[in-house]
Structure 1
Amino acid sequence: MVTIPMPAASLLVAVDQSADHLSGMHNASWLAMRDGTMGKLFPNALKVPHEIATADFTPNVESIRALNPDVVVQWSDSQLTEPLENAGLKVLGLTNTGQQSDVDTWVTLFSEMLGKPERASAMKSRSDHELTRIRALASGRSRPGPGILYFNRFTGGLKVAANGSYNDFYIKLVGGSNPATADTGVKGSGMVGVDVEQVLAWNPEVILLGNFDGALPQDLYSDPVWQNVAAVRHRRVYKVPLGGYRWDPPGQESPLMWQWLTDISFPGQVPSPLRGAIPDYYRFLYGRAPDSAEIDTMLWMSVNSQSADYEQFRGA
């Protein structure tokens, strides 16, 4: 399989518990594997060709044909699938509506193609259990959650998660609110460009920095422009974890993201249950667990060390 949507490569590896059926992937998928945990768990994945599409998912048809794949996984937009189909390639189109049901569907499709339907049932059952647990935690609180703003891009132009994004889904799942989708939010859906003045007006209480650029909490803490934002004043700016894949978009490690976001949004339990849950979840997903140093890297312990309540994730 060649996978062009960025979450698809690591998701395929998780379903298969192997990189053996991955014959090509998007460069951004490969970078996440190189910089995250996946490349350590499955080093052969880093040998897979990854120059097969542009940043906007336009396929390099000749490069893909040279790999002779049985199937190419692509976003379901006809402009992205037709060049591949016209070249005689078999294409599986994925849709993304910003909901957990998308991930469930992707897992089911991959499981069927790999001849492992039981794997989809197991992964969905575990994810559903965590979804129910996180929802119960959120509904059981007596106080409203913080305003949480997710930056898909920070350096070189600001882009925030708006309506229809998976980030908006999990912000609200844990009991937070997203100023970008409030009455004074942005028009449009997905990742939407904003200016500094808009963010200052929203005054978010928590800021999440995604893994699609190099922005770090210290960039905001040291910049006078951001000093009046509540998230900066109270040191509640966090780099989102990078595990087997980036935790900010939808994927197989999303249940871990829900727990992480719950813990930084509603700090209280020390230590957090997240660190103890990661090895077990990784054994379930990948058949092997990260060590303590790898968990530190995954959670950006050093990068986030100056942010409030992050010691809850520290190992013994």
Structure 2
Amino acid sequence: MIFRFIPLAAARRQVSSRATQVLAAVAMTLMGLVFTVETGAARPFVDAAGRTVEVPERARRVLAAGPPASVLLYTLAPETMIGWVRAPSPDEAAFLSPETRGLPAYGRLTGKGNTANVEAVLTLKPDLIIDVGSTASTYASLADRVQAQTGIPYILLDGGIDRTGETYAKLGELVGAPERAAELAAHAEAMIAEVEGRIDSIPADRRPRVYYARGPRGLETGVSGSITTEILDRAGARNVAEGGGATGLTTISPEQILAWDPDAIVTLDPAFHRTLSTDPLWSTLRAVRAGRVYQTPRLPFGWFDSPPGTNRLIGLRWLAALLYPDLFPEPMDSITRDFYTRFYHVNLDTAQVETLLKDAGAARP
């Protein structure tokens, strides 16, 4: 038999570590018991990934796992929110309902740069976790793991824009707001159908070729078919960044953007938008020379992306009107007011509308 000497300090650390693990396990078990007591009888719910999860009869404290889920929950049932994935900036907060501006930030459980942890989730005492976006096996596995660790039901909802109505209906069932969910679902589906109906007769070869520029240099983009660029397809544009086997976001070279030479450019970054006309690379492109560079409004959420959630509905209408002004003659200010009242629970004044739309047209060289 071989005996190994363990220093006293190290032994204490091992005991402490084991004790911490045991206490954490006990805490998670107790949380599961608290969930059962506080929320009453649970019921089975089939989420968008096909997972059957026991959920409370009516969720009252909901934690959004990522930004798209935060937006969806805010639009439908802000009273159930226990916080934000990221604290709103002062500029963003001005376009949110007063009751939600000061909610705590807890980080994200899913996606790029996840920052939340199990302890933070337990401290907030949610009775439901939701994630909105992809329902692929990677996200289903994450949901199963977090649910097993915390004892809190974790639901996946489809974030595709075509699934908006269905997703609202599912969340409405979870939070006990079916009528409000039906109203938002109907309005969302009407917005999508209106745009598609007006551009349906335009042949593919007459649709503008558009590049979506991300980042301060504009060289990051979303490939065709990704959730990031869904709005391009729906607004009647052809994404110059065809998939070619890639998915999601990709970085391109300056030579590639010159070769594409798009008809129009959409960007979220104000600094990039301001420098386009004087940049030696970008100023040679036909989109810049023609003044067809569009900066997406971004308060309180991006209109095109950032995040790829229900906030894109207003962006769909905005971009379609920029690409096809003759087909969409209605003033964007009234459409914006209505959307923000209906979905964001705020009544915009004239100054706020001007703030949103002042840079949302073409950037002239």
TM-score range, shorter chain: 0.7 to 0.9
Matched, 1:81 2:136: no
Look up the match of 1:234: 290
**Aligned partner of 2:118: which letter?**
V
Rounded Cα–Cα distance in structure 1 between residues aligned with 2:80 and 2:331? 34
Rounded Cα–Cα distance in structure 1 between residues aligned with 2:99 and 2:206? 46
**Pairing partner for 1:127 from 170, 188, 207:** 188
Q: Give unpaired runs (5+ residues) of structure 1.
A: 309-316
* Counterpart contact for 1:235–1:306, Cα < 8 Å: yes
Matched, 1:43 2:98: yes
**Cα shift at 1:293:** 1.1
The TM-score, its normalising length taken from structure 2, stands at: 0.71
1:105-184 equivalence runs, <5 A: 105-141=166-202, 144-151=206-213, 153-155=214-216, 158-181=219-242
Look up the match of 1:284: 342
Look up the match of 2:259: 201
Rounded Cα–Cα distance in structure 1 between residues aligned with 2:333 and 2:326? 15
Look up the match of 1:52: 107
**Cα shift at 1:39:** 4.2
Rounded Cα–Cα distance in structure 2 between residues aligned with 1:263 and 1:225? 28
Q: Give unpaired runs (5+ residues) of structure 2.
A: 1-61
Look up the match of 1:311: none
In the superposition, relative to structure 1, how do residues 176 and 276 fare at CA in structure 2: closer, same or farther (>3 Å)?
Answer: same
In the superposition, relative to structure 1, how do residues 191 and 40 fare at CA in structure 2: closer, same or farther (>3 Å)?
Answer: same
**Aligned partner of 1:159: which letter?**
E
**Cα shift at 1:287:** 4.4
Secondary structure of the corresponding residue to residue 180 of structure 1: coil
**Cα shift at 1:74:** 3.0
Moved more, 113-122 or 136-145: 136-145
Secondary structure of the corresponding residue to residue 163 of structure 1: coil
* Counterpart contact for 2:211–2:264, Cα < 8 Å: yes
In the superposition, relative to structure 1, how do residues 169 and 242 fare at CA in structure 2: closer, same or farther (>3 Å)?
Answer: same
**Aligned partner of 1:230: which letter?**
R
Q: Which has the larger radius of gyration?
A: 2
Number of residue pairs matched by the alignment: 293
Supply the RMSD in Å over aligned alpha carbons.
Answer: 2.8
**Cα shift at 1:111:** 1.1
Identity among equivalent pairs (%) = 25
Secondary structure of the corresponding residue to residue 170 of structure 2: helix
Rounded Cα–Cα distance in structure 2 between residues aligned with 1:12 and 1:221? 39
Secondary structure of the corresponding residue to residue 143 of structure 2: helix
Look up the match of 1:94: 157
* Counterpart contact for 1:52–1:64, Cα < 8 Å: no
Rounded Cα–Cα distance in structure 2 between residues aligned with 1:256 and 1:138? 16
* Counterpart contact for 1:144–1:176, Cα < 8 Å: no
* Counterpart contact for 2:95–2:299, Cα < 8 Å: no
* Counterpart contact for 1:147–1:205, Cα < 8 Å: yes
